Structure 1
């Protein structure tokens, strides 16, 4: 008795468990005969082990319908023919419980409209891997260049591709869950691109779709990503209560519970939302928990590329922003220095963003000349594709500077430069 390698290979290609195959066999029998089949995971286990070399006709034809190929191509071998009354017949004929007329009708149905209606394109792990590669490429592009219309448009196109496979293909439950997760991640990436370029109404529409898809996926990592982007969107829109609710939703996901790095990011986002609600003590506690969780995170654990940005430097930057919102600009500047020291040289977008926050911290401390020097370093190079958040911060800086030192030489010099931003 040898394992049916052909059947196992086709099941693996679809990421199909034995229970799932049994359910699809029963579905096929019901569609073809009007009565549901009785295959179980034990039935499939006998197929896989080689114990059953030639399934009975209903299940054999159902298997052919599920995989779109013959039973022989699935690794099954017809029973040996033997002589009987001078004639050569297949030993299949020794099973009188299969009514000949019903059997012929059943087999004929597989070549008619019933089987044709089932012949959907197969969607398997190869499709999931391809889309996952596209998602990783989008996250790398965001990390290097930031969000914008191009990133948003590409993400939405890929989300529609994932949903088209979901709607029009034959797939196992696990593959369908992964397709929902990919569609959610692509849509969340489009939401983030719109947030990063300050097109907040578009981001809001993407968020509503992403939350629905993430819920359907059952993927805790995708749900965490979607809720933290939702918290950032609410923050950008000046809605601290919504930002707090989204940050707390991220903390309810499986990713937060299972992975200390996700937990660290959850606590950091929670800390960012709390100053706006007036709960300063809870914000400080959240910062402590973020630091503690980060120290416990396994740096060698495999995670989606969307978490690649969250380094010790990024945590320092988020901590610095929180202290700035808590009206502790000296602490904020300290953490911004730590952040900028730890960022990779290629993280130009993040460097400009945190540089602008450090300029605001220096401005709050009254160090106007140093603040203007720092702000100048955050100005995107002429002709570059900058994101919307940093120019917005520089506008806030300009307003704050003129409130403090309107008409001064340092303010006039900065205003001249700000006109070109």
Structure 2
């Protein structure tokens, strides 16, 4: 019989991130649990299965393979030797693992969450993420789609219920990190996803005015970005930590952190991240009275943004970084330099350019516009701006507090 390469099995190794050696080790581990004695599979066996030299492995290998890839032998590309070989014996039952107390605690956390958080949790499909078994890149793809939907919720409604949702999902992915088996590529992707979730949770904490918690979450985000060996994820974490430093009044530190993020060549080459970092660097420089530096950084942000569209699309967390957002960030820098007229013009431009779906950003810059108008003594226009704000669907205590201060000032 002519030898024919088993392309189905080769594709499964790629999807589940196995090498010949790691699959052989996994077969031996499953065989030990299944038959009560160590397996003897080697990478040579796997090579022979893929090359087609062996088209129907022994039962002691096939049963573990069926369990690992969760499909019958023929669906893995194996060809039976005869009618009898196609009927595999049923493997002995495996004992169910004892329930973990931690799992019940986390389940109670889901059940006692707010109704809004529970609704978002159900809508995102967080409970569908496995915490046991073998993880493949297709599992990671599903995780990233959930995170993308989570980011979209934040841009639309703010951080309110998303803090509980994000941290609960982090717990689930960390369970997967400890309880599942996977290859190196999946491990890095899993750390990248956890880093992204910590960053989202940090922003949700910021929206609820819990800056101490936000700082811890952004630090955890950086830790997992480094474990993922992903410069873009690390740049996101550094950018968030720089913003955290600015919130706490440590403006020179914010400048230093942002510059450190821009030192990475890959970060500078990504126009989406580079434009964000240069714009935030300009704000930090403006806060430290570095007018020349701020002007230079704003120009660098514009030049970086000019390259958007010539490269790959931005990740979902950077969907907010539009031309309107760039104008809004420039306005913050102008305001820090005392240039209120330029700040007001840039903020108005931001509101013209931001799409209606970015309700959180539109609310932020709407409040900012009213604050700038009030700072220049134009109470009538500030009142009109406040009246025209659409914040009914937002869940952001930080934005609500700024708006409340404005309304009290205008009615005094």
Provide Cα deviations, 1:377-421, integer angstroms capped at 9, x if missing partner: 34844xx5442333444466579xxxxxxxxxxx6xx235xxxxx
1:286 aligned partner? 297
Report the CA distance shift for 1:254/1:4 in structure 2 as closer, same or farther (over 3 A).
Answer: farther
State the 1:56 CA deviation: 10
Structure 1 segment 78-157 matched on structure 2, within 5 A: 121-148=133-160, 150-157=161-168
State the 1:319 CA deviation: 0.7
Q: State which of 1, 4, 7 in structure 2 corresponds to 1:5.
A: 7
Structure 1 segment 200-279 matched on structure 2, within 5 A: 200-253=211-264, 256-279=267-290
2:149 aligned counterpart, secondary structure:
helix
Provide Cα deviations, 1:55-106, integer angstroms capped at 9, x if missing partner: 89999999789658897775456899xxxxxxxxxxxxxxxxxxxxxxxxxx
Report the CA distance shift for 1:76/1:157 in structure 2 as closer, same or farther (over 3 A).
Answer: same
Q: State which of 296, 308, 318 in structure 2 corresponds to 1:307.
A: 318
Report the CA distance shift for 1:188/1:305 in structure 2 as closer, same or farther (over 3 A).
Answer: same
State the 1:141 CA deviation: 0.7
Aligned mates of 2:387, 2:249 — CA distance in 1: 26
The answer to whether the 8 A contact 2:68-2:134 is kept is no
In the alignment, does 2:181 pair up with 1:170? yes
1:340 aligned partner? 351
Deviates more, 1:120-129 or 1:283-292: 120-129
The answer to whether the 8 A contact 1:159-1:186 is kept is yes
Report the CA distance shift for 1:379/1:302 in structure 2 as closer, same or farther (over 3 A).
Answer: closer
The answer to whether the 8 A contact 1:27-1:36 is kept is no
The answer to whether the 8 A contact 2:27-2:39 is kept is no
1:22 aligned partner? 21
1:415 aligned partner? 411
Structure 1 stretches lacking a partner, 5+ long: 81-109, 400-410, 417-421
Provide Cα deviations, 1:1-22, integer angstroms capped at 9, x if missing partner: 3220331232133134xxx332
Report the CA distance shift for 1:254/1:8 in structure 2 as closer, same or farther (over 3 A).
Answer: farther
Aligned mates of 2:163, 2:233 — CA distance in 1: 17
* CA RMSD, Structure 1 to Structure 2 (Å): 3.6
In the alignment, does 2:389 pair up with 1:390? no
Provide the TM-score with structure 1 as the length reference. Answer: 0.73
Report the CA distance shift for 1:46/1:271 in structure 2 as closer, same or farther (over 3 A).
Answer: farther
The answer to whether the 8 A contact 1:317-1:336 is kept is yes
Who wins on radius of gyration, i.e. which is larger? 1
Report the CA distance shift for 1:58/1:335 in structure 2 as closer, same or farther (over 3 A).
Answer: same
Provide Cα deviations, 1:241-268, integer angstroms capped at 9, x if missing partner: 3322432343245652332122111111
Report the CA distance shift for 1:46/1:292 in structure 2 as closer, same or farther (over 3 A).
Answer: farther
State the 1:269 CA deviation: 1.5
Report the CA distance shift for 1:10/1:37 in structure 2 as closer, same or farther (over 3 A).
Answer: closer
Higher RCO by CA contacts (8 Å cutoff, separation 6 or greater): 2
1:102 aligned partner? none
Report the CA distance shift for 1:208/1:300 in structure 2 as closer, same or farther (over 3 A).
Answer: closer
1:274 aligned counterpart, secondary structure:
helix
The answer to whether the 8 A contact 1:152-1:194 is kept is yes
Provide the TM-score with structure 2 as the length reference. Answer: 0.74
2:114 aligned partner? none
The answer to whether the 8 A contact 1:223-1:253 is kept is no
Aligned mates of 2:236, 2:341 — CA distance in 1: 31
The answer to whether the 8 A contact 1:131-1:158 is kept is no
Q: How many residue pairs end up in the alignment?
A: 362
Structure 1 segment 348-367 matched on structure 2, within 5 A: 348-367=359-378
Aligned mates of 1:343, 1:162 — CA distance in 2: 33
